[in-house]
């Protein structure tokens, strides 16, 4: 018969002096030790999990703080960029006026000395410059040919087409990058081939494929006011052509950087985009009355 091994624990009473022996089997000691180690590992695991969670929370708070700082910096940079664009537009207008005035003065007065003319026959570049000057002068005179008509219809108060508003002017999420961006105009829904009308009287300054704008028509209404009609499928006008409010300048499409067919419409003052809504809200023709505006 196999003899069972065990531990003996002696307990002595300090007052009565009695002794008591406890027989503890080896298996019970091992079980107690196993539970002790298991409890220790559980406690260490819980402490480790808490430490990792605390580290993640601290890291998240740090990232959130950095994100808030970057967002504030972005807001400041965006504000500074808008101010810079406005200043640049003002400087461009001033430079254009100075350049035009200086060019007109040179054309009227001529060179101060005949030796400054160089060769008696004009070069090819000089011929082109003369053509550009005469073309500019002709366009300038066209604005004064019908003064009353131009003064009445130079404000872009007509809807370029009748369509649902897809995207408003201002901040939005870029459909390609998924990041924040500034939308310089409004997008109006239109199937391919819808007639696009000039919002006011003016002269065509751009009528060509223009990068992300696709096929683009720009109408100059004078006094620094311009309207843009982008993503066209067809252009019906040429640079230098006079157009009247309501005249078709092209057909809507999906050229350039787009996700679906629509018309991108902009209004710019001195080269700086402004909200077209301030003009469209007062429009009573072309796309319904003001109460029908999709804003």
Query: Are the CB atoms for 82 and 90 separated by under 8 Å?
Result: no
Asked if residue 136 and residue 230 are part of one domain, the reply reads no
How far is CA 11 from its chain centroid? 84
Asked whether residue 159 is domain-assigned, the answer is: no
The two three-digit tokens of residue 33, written as one number: 């030790």
The pLDDT of residue 109 is above 70? no
Instruction: DSSP letter for 261, please.
Output: S
Asked if residue 120 and residue 180 are part of one domain, the reply reads no
The residue to which tokens 């390609």 are assigned: 176
Query: Are the CB atoms for 225 and 208 separated by under 8 Å?
Result: no
Q: Cβ neighbours of residue 173 under 8 Å, at least 6 residues apart? A: 179, 180, 181
Q: What range defines the domain where residue 138 resides?
A: 89-153
Asked whether residue 200 is domain-assigned, the answer is: yes
Domain's final residue, options 97, 129, 153: 153
Asked if residue 264 and residue 184 are part of one domain, the reply reads yes
What does the pLDDT read at residue 52?
85
Query: Are the CB atoms for 26 and 8 separated by under 8 Å?
Result: no
Rg (CA), the chain: 40
Asked if residue 185 and residue 281 are part of one domain, the reply reads yes
Asked if residue 120 and residue 29 are part of one domain, the reply reads no
pLDDT digits (tens, 9 = 90+) for 50-95: 888 888 888 888 888 888 888 888 888 888 888 887 777 777 777 7
Domain's final residue, options 97, 125, 153: 153
Asked if residue 68 and residue 37 are part of one domain, the reply reads yes
Asked if residue 67 and residue 79 are part of one domain, the reply reads yes
Looking up residue 263, the CATH number of its domain turns out to be 2.70.70.10
Asked if residue 124 and residue 184 are part of one domain, the reply reads no
Domain's final residue, options 38, 73, 88: 88
User: If you average pLDDT over each of 170-174, 198-202, 256-260, which comes out highest?
Assistant: 198-202
pTM, whole model, 2 decimals? 0.48
CA-CA distance, 292 to 274, in Å (whole number)?
22
Q: Tell me the average pLDDT of the chain.
A: 76
Which one has a higher pLDDT value, 186 or 93? 186
Asked if residue 236 and residue 137 are part of one domain, the reply reads no
Query: Are the CB atoms for 200 and 155 separated by under 8 Å?
Result: yes
Asked whether residue 294 is domain-assigned, the answer is: no
Q: Which of 31-40, 58-67, 98-107, 159-168 is the least confident region? A: 98-107
Asked if residue 274 and residue 226 are part of one domain, the reply reads yes
What does the pLDDT read at residue 130?
58
Asked whether residue 107 is domain-assigned, the answer is: yes
What does the pLDDT read at residue 227?
94
Asked if residue 267 and residue 254 are part of one domain, the reply reads yes
pLDDT digits (tens, 9 = 90+) for 118-167: 444 556 556 556 555 555 555 555 554 544 445 467 888 888 998 888 88
Element (H, E) at 7: strand 6-12
Asked if residue 98 and residue 8 are part of one domain, the reply reads no
Domain count, the chain: 3
Asked whether residue 98 is domain-assigned, the answer is: yes
Asked whether residue 160 is domain-assigned, the answer is: no
What does the pLDDT read at residue 120?
47
CA distances from 18 to 8, 10, 23, 24, 40 (A): 16, 10, 17, 19, 36
Asked whether residue 133 is domain-assigned, the answer is: yes
What φ, ψ does residue 272 adopt, rounded to 5°?
-100, 125
Asked whether residue 93 is domain-assigned, the answer is: yes
């Amino acid at each position: 018969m196999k003899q069972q091994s065990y531990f003996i624990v002696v307990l002595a009473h300090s007052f009565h002096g009695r002794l008591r022996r406890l027989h503890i089997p080896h298996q019970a000691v091992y079980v107690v030790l196993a539970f002790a180690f298991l409890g220790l590992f559980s406690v260490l695991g819980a402490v480790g999990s808490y430490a990792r969670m605390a580290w993640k929370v601290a890291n998240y708070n740090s990232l959130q703080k950095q994100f808030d700082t970057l967002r504030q910096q972005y807001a400041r940079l965006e504000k500074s960029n808008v101010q810079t664009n406005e200043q640049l537009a003002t400087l461009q207008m001033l430079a254009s006026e100075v350049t035009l005035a200086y060019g007109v003065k040179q054309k009227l007065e001529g060179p101060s000395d005949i030796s400054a003319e160089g060769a008696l026959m004009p070069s090819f570049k000089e011929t082109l410059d003369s053509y550009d000057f005469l073309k500019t002068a002709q366009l300038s005179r066209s604005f004064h040919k019908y003064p009353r008509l131009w003064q009445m219809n130079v404000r872009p108060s007509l809807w370029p087409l009748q369509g649902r508003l897809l995207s408003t002017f201002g901040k939005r999420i870029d459909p390609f990058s998924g990041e924040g961006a500034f939308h310089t105009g409004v997008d109006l829904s239109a199937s391919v081939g819808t007639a696009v009308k000039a919002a006011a009287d003016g002269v065509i300054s751009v009528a060509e494929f223009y990068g992300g704008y696709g096929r683009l028509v720009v109408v100059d209404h004078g006094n620094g006011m311009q309207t843009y009609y982008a993503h066209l499928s067809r252009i019906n006008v040429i640079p230098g052509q006079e157009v009247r409010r309501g005249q078709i300048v092209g057909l809507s499409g999906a050229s350039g950087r787009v996700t679906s067919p629509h018309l991108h419409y902009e209004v710019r003052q001195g080269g700086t985009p402004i909200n077209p809504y301030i003009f469209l809200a007062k429009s009573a023709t072309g796309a319904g009355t003001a109460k029908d505006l999709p804003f």
